Amino acid sequence: MGISIVEAIPLRIKRDEAYLGGIPQAADPAAYFTRPPYRALYSAYFETAFVKITTDDGIIGWGEALSPVAPEVVCTIIEQLLAPVLMGRDPLDGNVLWNVMYDLMRERGYYGGFMLDAISACDTALWDLRGKLLNQPVYKLLGGAFRERIPCYVSGLPRPTAEERVSLALEFVEDGFSAFKLAAGHGLRADAASVKALRDALGEETALLLDAHWVYALDEAVQLGHALTDQGVGFFEAPINPEDIESHARLAAAVAVPIAHGETERTRYQFRPWLMQKAADILQPDVGRAGISETIKIAAMAEAFNVRMAPHLSVGLGICISASIHVAAAIPNLYMLEYQPPVFAIANMLLESPLICEAGYYEIPSGAGLGVELDEGRLLDLQA
């Protein structure tokens, strides 16, 4: 038994609302745009990259890379660099194959970014394959489930005013959700006021989280961190530029609110200094960027430092979401998993059987492998 086909599939789906709010009217749907005060590129589409790995006896495994921009880059890496070394190999040799892929460009400095996104997609597909070959769900192959369902927080609340964000959060509260993350970075007073408005409306029992998108300097982050502590915020995510580990360590030492970091990193090697320098209290690797194998290793390393995991899960669709749920089930040090309702709805549109998230919890998909299958007919229609 060996791998006989490796296919990479880029996908763009038009959307009307993004994580940070509506799409700018002037945005060219064929181009990317920035959204001040944030510096990253954004797309008017949901963009992702799937990989389909087939064995010579016809068993299929699906993977997905988090690809919010330029999914063709990930697909080119898979087709030109990774597929040739996977062909003919035994999909059960997962750890070996991860290292084979990682070593291809390691000495040239490609141990992050698009290269690791591509490796992660293939790694997830190989886990899906192994589960199907052994007729076991992925979480079982990872050592079993520590929990029967996965606690999650609603991420984003994409409304322009505090009043509208409160109103949206209250709608989710009626449906049983009790944890929310705000997209912040609009200034110290505005961010603190936004959190306070939610706290006043939702009460002390609701978990509130804040994502600053790396816009603050250390002194600003310390000021905001104290304000968030007073509001009982569960974590302060991405406060300072991700390269500045030392400032994050100083921030973590100065404030009581837990500091969260990780969507920018891909490997245990990149997370190690964050743990060694006590720069993060909660790690947030994204399975769509780190893959299942590496996320599990990061979680094990974090456990040794008594650090919790809150896996990042943004615009990855059904394969990313299912893989993240399996990982969240299999790690002992889980805090919560991210949940974006608009993304979740589009993800389910592409699946033969829907994923379920209700009343603040994901259900673990049943069945072998990841427990989900892409609707290839629907996928082809969207590519047309």
Residue 318's closest CA among 283, 292, 279, 344?
344
The closest alpha carbon to 365, from 328, 314, 315, belongs to 328
Q: Which of 206, 180, 145, 156 is nearest to 334 (CA)?
A: 145
Question: What is the four-CA torsion angle of 176, 179, 183, 186, rounded to 10 degrees?
Answer: 110
CB-CB neighbours of 164 under 10 Å: 12
Show which residues are catalytic. 312
Between CA 96 and CA 81 the distance in angstroms is 16
Alpha-carbon distance of 206 to 203, in angstroms, equals 6
| Half-sphere exposure of residue 146: CA atoms within 13 angstroms, side-chain side | 13
Contact between 12 and 46 (Cβ < 8 Å): yes
Quote the DSSP letter at residue 137: B
**Residue 325: what residue type?**
I
**Which residues have CB under 8 Å from 28's CB, separation 6+?**
44
- ∠ CA 263-84-123 to the nearest 5 degrees? 30
Q: Residue 194: name the closest of 223, 241, 221, 159 by CA.
A: 159
CA-nearest of 54, 52, 53, 28 to 42 is 28
Distance of CA 63 to CAs 7, 305, 369, Å? 10, 30, 11
CA distance 283 to 302: 8
Contact 234, 207 (CB under 8 A): yes
